[in-house]
Amino acid sequence: MPAPRSLYAQNPAAAEALFEQARAAMAAGSFDIACARFRDSDKLDPAVGTRFNLADCEERRGRVATAWSLFRGVLSELAQDDDRRPIAEQRAHALEPRVPYLKMQPGADTPPRVHVRIDGVELGEGSFGVALPMDPGAHQLVLVPAEGGAGQQRSFSLREGEHLDLPIRFTSSSSSPPSAERANDAPATAPDDEEIFPAQNSQQKWAYVAGGVGAASLLFGAVTGIVTLNKKNTAETNCSERRHVCNQAGVDANESGKTFGTLSAVGLSVGVLGLAAGAYLWLTAPESAPPAAHSSIPGRRGFPVRPELGYAPGTGFLALSGSF
């Protein structure tokens, strides 16, 4: 049984130490630690200033409903001429449209006197049909029958500003998942195309990256190669092979042509290697076995193909072997 609040209010020095440590944690961005210390400080020595700071802390870690409730509580305690009052009022007003609400709707088959536990807090039938402010994020809901026994559990989530109607009803078997469902939930069965084509794995994603780098490098190599040829033409026009002399335009074209030629060679080499690596990663990526209902339908890469990547001085190759 929790101790009465008055029993906590007996150590102001410890409360002050916790308050200062909470402020330090806030400054460091450790909001979970800061909020816990503000709460403990308020238990040891209740103070409206501590709860004001706790409200600010809770907002910073995304618990907008808790922060909104705390700011409203602070407003009820502050005097009309208190300098903190307009700040608390403005903060509460700004938070109000961000608060999510949950309304639990019992079905015709919901047994009487059923209880619900949300994140460990038990609620009775009086909570049904009432829009309850809650913090955004994931929550755990447990349906507890009046006659006792194992409850049925499920999770749900709320977004900022969302108003969620949640049907509450028991399933016929306790081994089945509970059926407190979000309105307009997507069907549990995945579409056929999602069953046939499994999600891409990380190796396939790296294949895309390598292929993209390869393609970009090839394009770069081709463009710089074209520039190199233009520079070569300019140099030939402004240089005499017989006399082995060039004017300034020919000298500049020769120098820049060498630079662009090097860049072109590097770009083409990186492009070939990137495309080869992308192909290798793509073709060797593991894939999930197709579902039994579609076992006769090959996946996107369902043919037995094996890539071979090789390199020798001055050349390289990428080959495929297997049956089609």
Cα–Cα separations (whole angstroms), residue 45 to 6, 31, 39, 41: 9, 21, 10, 6
Please give the residue range of the domain that contains residue 38.
5-98
Q: What is the DSSP string of 138-193?
A: EEEEEEE-TT-S--EEEEEEE-TT-EEEEEE---SSTTSPP----TTPPPSSPPHH
Assign 242 a pLDDT band (cuts: 50, 70, 90).
low
Residue 288 confidence (pLDDT): 44
27 domain-assigned: yes
Residue 323 confidence (pLDDT): 42
CATH number at residue 112: 2.60.40
Q: Average pLDDT of the chain?
A: 76
Higher pLDDT, 34 or 263: 34
- Does the pLDDT at position 279 exceed 80? no
CATH number at residue 84: 1.25.40.10
190 domain-assigned: no
189-223 pLDDT tens trace: 334 443 333 445 576 777 778 778 878 877 887 88
191 domain-assigned: no
Last residue of one domain, picked from the residues 80, 98, 116: 98
96-153 pLDDT tens trace: 999 999 999 887 777 777 888 899 898 888 888 999 999 999 999 988 876 666 678 8
| Tokens read off for 15 | 């409360």
238 domain-assigned: yes
295 domain-assigned: no
Residue 220 confidence (pLDDT): 85
- Does the pLDDT at position 304 exceed 50? no
Residue 150 confidence (pLDDT): 66
Please tell me whether residues 225 and 269 are part of one structural domain: yes
State how far the Cα of 137 lies from the Cα of 162, in Å rounded to an integer. 11
Please tell me whether residues 138 and 169 are part of one structural domain: yes
81-97 pLDDT tens trace: 999 999 999 999 999 99
Assign 171 a pLDDT band (cuts: 50, 70, 90).
low
Higher pLDDT, 286 or 314: 286
Please tell me whether residues 152 and 208 are part of one structural domain: no
Assign 66 a pLDDT band (cuts: 50, 70, 90).
very high
Q: How many domains does the chain have?
A: 3
Please tell me whether residues 318 and 254 are part of one structural domain: yes
Please tell me whether residues 62 and 115 are part of one structural domain: no
Provide the percentage of residues in the chain whose pLDDT is more than 70.
71
Please tell me whether residues 125 and 160 are part of one structural domain: yes
Last residue of one domain, picked from the residues 73, 98, 123: 98
Please tell me whether residues 55 and 24 are part of one structural domain: yes
Please tell me whether residues 211 and 240 are part of one structural domain: yes
Residue that is written with structure tokens 């700004």 in the block = 94
Residue 63 confidence (pLDDT): 96
State how far the Cα of 106 lies from the Cα of 101, in Å rounded to an integer. 16
Please tell me whether residues 59 and 127 are part of one structural domain: no
Assign 312 a pLDDT band (cuts: 50, 70, 90).
very low
231 domain-assigned: yes
26-52 pLDDT tens trace: 999 999 999 999 999 999 999 999 999
Please tell me whether residues 83 and 133 are part of one structural domain: no
Please tell me whether residues 12 and 110 are part of one structural domain: no
Please tell me whether residues 80 and 48 are part of one structural domain: yes
Cα–Cα separations (whole angstroms), residue 105 to 101, 102, 110, 127, 164: 13, 10, 10, 9, 10
Q: Select from 163, 161, 165, 127 the least CA-distant residue to 144.
A: 127
246 domain-assigned: yes
142 domain-assigned: yes
94: helix, coil or strand?
helix
